[in-house]
Amino acid sequence: VPVVRAGAVRETAGRWVIEPTPRTRRGGAGTHRPAPLVVPAPGEPGTPRPTIEDVAALAAVSVATVSRALRGLPHVAPATRERVLEAARELDYVADPAAARLATGRNVAVGLVVPMIAHWYYARVFAGIEGVLAAAGYDVLLYQTAGPSGIDRSLDELPFRKRVDGLVVVDATLDDAALDRIVAAGVRLVTIGVRAPRSPSVTVENRRAARQAVAHLTELGHRRIALIAGMDEDPFGFSTPLERRRGYEDALEAAGVEPDPALVVPGHFTYDGGAAAMQRLLTLSDPPTAVFAMSDEMAIGAAKVLREAGIDVPGQVSVVGFDDHEVAAYIGLTTVRQDVLWTGERAAALLLERLREPSASRSERRGAAPSAHESVPTHLVLRSTTAPPPVRARDGRDR
Amino acid sequence: VPVVRAGAVRETAGRWVIEPTPRTRRGGAGTHRPAPLVVPAPGEPGTPRPTIEDVAALAAVSVATVSRALRGLPHVAPATRERVLEAARELDYVADPAAARLATGRNVAVGLVVPMIAHWYYARVFAGIEGVLAAAGYDVLLYQTAGPSGIDRSLDELPFRKRVDGLVVVDATLDDAALDRIVAAGVRLVTIGVRAPRSPSVTVENRRAARQAVAHLTELGHRRIALIAGMDEDPFGFSTPLERRRGYEDALEAAGVEPDPALVVPGHFTYDGGAAAMQRLLTLSDPPTAVFAMSDEMAIGAAKVLREAGIDVPGQVSVVGFDDHEVAAYIGLTTVRQDVLWTGERAAALLLERLREPSASRSERRGAAPSAHESVPTHLVLRSTTAPPPVRARDGRDR
DNA sequence: CTGAAAGCGCTTACAG
DNA sequence: CTGAAAGCGCTTACAG
């Protein structure tokens, strides 16, 4: 029996069989389980469209003049330009980007690589990037490395080669060889949430932000402060969780609190992961009086578990999140606000700069490339999920 | 003083000035107000990459043979094919899609048009679409019609012409002329949430789902049931809100309840809109005992207002949402679950079918094109925000 | 200011 | 099974 990975497409006798992505069961009712799709493999091109020759003929000029006129280049007589514009308008002409790309080598397109676009954070980053790049005339292609099907694709497998002039890579697994290949191919690179050796990057002030959030808890009197983190370990230099953990440790140290590894649990940046993490924390013989989660989703999941366990928030346990997700305000979650849209916009701006640079041959080969590392500021937003620990917890540890 | 629209890009002396998108104020602390970006206008292409000629030279065959071998076409001797593959591997060769496009007319790319990708629903739809299309070898370009800057772009302004073979348009403003132009250009079209005359579409069972949700409330005994809808009116045939409203009216009628226009208020599918709508409903002399919101975000916003007003949910007012957003489970929201990922996957499958069809000239010009309209099923998920109305409200109307 | 022509890197009949 | 050559629709020196 052949094993077909969910979400995969396989071709059989000229037809494509597309396995549906399995759905997580959530909530009460059963989940709709879709049947596999069977569709024909793709086919032929569309209807012919007017070309630059048609415009040239109609305007009674050469194609060279049309090209110049349409792109606003100098050395075109105003009357001629007007005639060309008129002809192009009449024919509803638009230049073929593929032909332009072939002639110039420029795609006027950039790629965005994220783990999964359905996630709140990545969707917002994308929105910010697309806004700026679209305004600058660029097309934006999206590549998910962790599709909903759970299949991870590495940067190397992504088919962006020759498709894009630049790439914004968010929180991706980056190895030096892959990066070198990308840069060698002339693709400009900007990263978010990770740092690449010779490319600009944008990150939020993770360490400072986390320190501030946890300091808020120590100032309230908490000593048993849990951290709901990302993965158990991250071998790929996705630095965000590491930095937030350092900030957490900074704050504990500043308050003279000995870190307890049992209080640090993975939450995988999901609602369910946050809930599971909280479950685990509640089984400890000496459970925390406060929890700092590295994302609002995880904090919401944790808060739900606390509520269901009949534990008062913030009376018995305080909760702090990270992001300032829209929902945070609605459930009164104390959290660290970061401007994700702005993160995307900054990355797009850095990429536009990078696209402007001459050829990679000069500065980059010499290793003299300017690599701007930008830090986006954050704010601690105090709401109603944090308060001093219960009295008994403050006296001894026999809560 | 020149007025610069936020989010806009203007060029001055070869540099681009990018105005930051204004941020909505939410929550407690102040909002970070970013300064405008100033970046150089974009520049030159990348480093040369190996071409098909290089591969041909290394494998000692013609470029025609390389082309055939690499694409798995027949009429290539096994030994030759192996040599070509080896050469391509050695050179790390990848064919230039632009050149291929020019020669074949096919882009092997599709566009996705959504109002704003940062929204939960659209991000998920995109994830579903990208998953299937990427597996089928297509690139996916994203176009936002309502960027975060609030500037609306119509389908006509979008630069997808000649860039893509197909288009998935979600909830967009569609006029017939624009559609005809798209189809005439040979771009295959599939819509989600709206229906176009001669193109396949995917929608959820909006009417039935809404009827079911509201029937749940009437069965509990509610008579004063409010509807938090989308816009005040929608001139563009974005049919989802209309159908959900019809389902609402169906349920009222089935229960013998006279509809009250004062109970129908716009919520714009946002948290804040839902909150504002609830505020407004509370000012009514005869406020509702139950609220059906067309999205979970709006329901969450409404629930927040109720909580802050000291009104018990579901003791005094019941709330039902739509979507089954991840957060819904965490706040115990009764809602209508729809499988958004599947919606995207179905649309992608329909588009792949459409891309397979011969030329538009035949079937479509004759108006005989098959236009599959698919309906994705939904489930009512009962949680803890619905209950019978308070006793006094059931007796008379003097709550 | 304008045009003729080469060239970008592929694919595809057409021969052999 | 393989190759020579035309052609896809642009852009860009180079002349004039």
CA distances from A171 to A127, A196, A241, B49, B288 (A): 16, 11, 10, 27, 46
Structure tokens at B378: 């939904």
Question: Locate tokens 């009104």: which residue?
Answer: B311
pLDDT for the residue numbered B176: 74
CA end-to-end distance (rounded Å), chain B: 56
* pTM assigned to the model: 0.84
Q: Are B356 and A39 in contact (CB under 8 A)?
A: yes
Q: How sure is the predictor about A99, in pLDDT bands with cuts at 50, 70 and 90?
A: very high
How far apart are the C-alpha atoms of A343 and B27, rounded to whole Å? 20
pLDDT for the residue numbered A177: 78
- Protein-to-nucleotide distance from the CA of A138 to the C1' of D16, whole angstroms: 37
pLDDT for the residue numbered A237: 55
Weakest mean pLDDT among A171-185, A199-213, A322-336, B373-387: A171-185
From chain A, pick out residues whose CB is under 8 angstroms from the CB of B384. none
Q: Which residues of B223-238 are buried (b: 16+ CB within 10 A; e: fewer)?
A: bbbbbbbbeeebeeeb
| Three-class SS state of B21 | coil
Interface with B, mutate which of A142, A152, A307, A346 (most B CBs under 10 A): A142
- What is the per-residue DSSP string for B155-205? GGG-TTTTT-SEEEEES----HHHHHHHHHTT-EEEEESS--TTS-EEEE-
CA distances from B37 to A96, A137, A222, A348 (A): 30, 16, 41, 10
How far apart are the C-alpha atoms of A217 and A209, rounded to whole Å? 13
Distance from CA of B114 to the nearest CA of A (A): 11
pLDDT for the residue numbered A326: 87
Distance from CA of A395 to the nearest CA of B (A): 32
Pairing type for strands B15-18 and B9-12 reads antiparallel
Inspect the interface and report whether the beta carbons of A356 and B130 lie closer than 8 Å: no
Across the range B44-53, mean pLDDT stands at: 67
User: Tell me: the pLDDT tens digits for B80-92?
Assistant: 999 999 999 999 8
Most trustworthy range by pLDDT among A13-22, A179-188, A207-216, B390-399:
A207-216
Where residue B23 falls (left for φ over 0; alpha for ψ -120 to 50; beta otherwise) is beta
pLDDT surpasses 70 at B371: no
What mean pLDDT is reported for chain A? 82
Q: How sure is the predictor about A45, in pLDDT bands with cuts at 50, 70 and 90?
A: very low
pLDDT for the residue numbered B198: 80
pLDDT surpasses 90 at A217: yes
From chain A, pick out residues whose CB is under 8 angstroms from the CB of B120. 120, 123
Q: Are A326 and A354 in contact (CB under 8 A)?
A: no
pLDDT for the residue numbered A280: 97
The order of strands in the sheet holding A334-338 is A264-266, A225-229, A290-293, A318-323, A334-338, A378-381
pLDDT for the residue numbered B359: 57
Interface with B, mutate which of A23, A189, A326 (most B CBs under 10 A): A326
User: Tell me: the pLDDT tens digits for B221-262?
Assistant: 999 999 999 876 654 556 788 899 999 999 999 999 999 999
Weakest mean pLDDT among A190-199, B145-154, B320-329: B145-154
pLDDT for the residue numbered B174: 72
Question: Which comes out higher in pLDDT, residue A31 or B243?
Answer: B243
Structure tokens at A368: 């003299």
* Angle ∠(B84,B90,B94) on CA atoms, nearest 5: 75
Question: Which comes out higher in pLDDT, residue B5 or A9?
Answer: A9
Question: Which comes out higher in pLDDT, residue B25 or A150?
Answer: A150
CA distances from A204 to A159, A194, A207 (A): 29, 10, 9
pLDDT for the residue numbered A151: 61
- Protein-to-nucleotide distance from the CA of A186 to the C1' of D1, whole angstroms: 37
| Nearest nt to the B102 alpha carbon by C1' | D8
Distance from CA of A201 to the nearest CA of B (A): 15
Give backbone dihedrals phi and psi of A243, rounded to 5 degrees, phi first: -65, -40
Q: Are B351 and B188 in contact (CB under 8 A)?
A: yes
User: Tell me: the pLDDT tens digits for B307-364?
Assistant: 999 999 999 999 999 999 988 988 899 999 999 999 999 999 999 998 987 654 444 4
Q: Are B309 and B301 in contact (CB under 8 A)?
A: no
CA end-to-end distance (rounded Å), chain A: 56
User: Tell me: the pLDDT tens digits for A48-65?
Assistant: 688 999 999 999 999 999
pLDDT surpasses 50 at A364: no
| Nearest nt to the B93 alpha carbon by C1' | C9
CB atoms within 10 A of CB B88: 21
Across the range A149-174, mean pLDDT stands at: 81
User: Tell me: the pLDDT tens digits for B372-386?
Assistant: 889 999 999 999 999
> Does A388 sit behind a cis peptide bond, omega within 30 degrees of 0 on the bond before it?
no
CB atoms within 10 A of CB B329: 22
From chain B, pick out residues whose CB is under 8 angstroms from the CB of A119. 123
Residue closest to B212 by CA, chosen among B333, B379, B358:
B379
| Nearest nt to the A65 alpha carbon by C1' | C2
| Three-class SS state of B206 | helix
Instruction: Tell me which amino acid residue A130 is.
Output: E
Weakest mean pLDDT among A45-54, A156-165, A281-290, B324-333: A45-54
- What is the per-residue DSSP string for B223-285? --EEEEES-S--TT--HHHHHHHHHHHHHHHHTTPPP-GGGEEE-TTSHHHHHHHHHHHHTSS
From chain A, pick out residues whose CB is under 8 angstroms from the CB of B117. 117, 123, 126-127, 130
Residue closest to A182 by CA, chosen among A161, A153, A154:
A161
User: Tell me: the pLDDT tens digits for A172-189?
Assistant: 767 777 787 888 888 999
pLDDT surpasses 60 at A197: yes
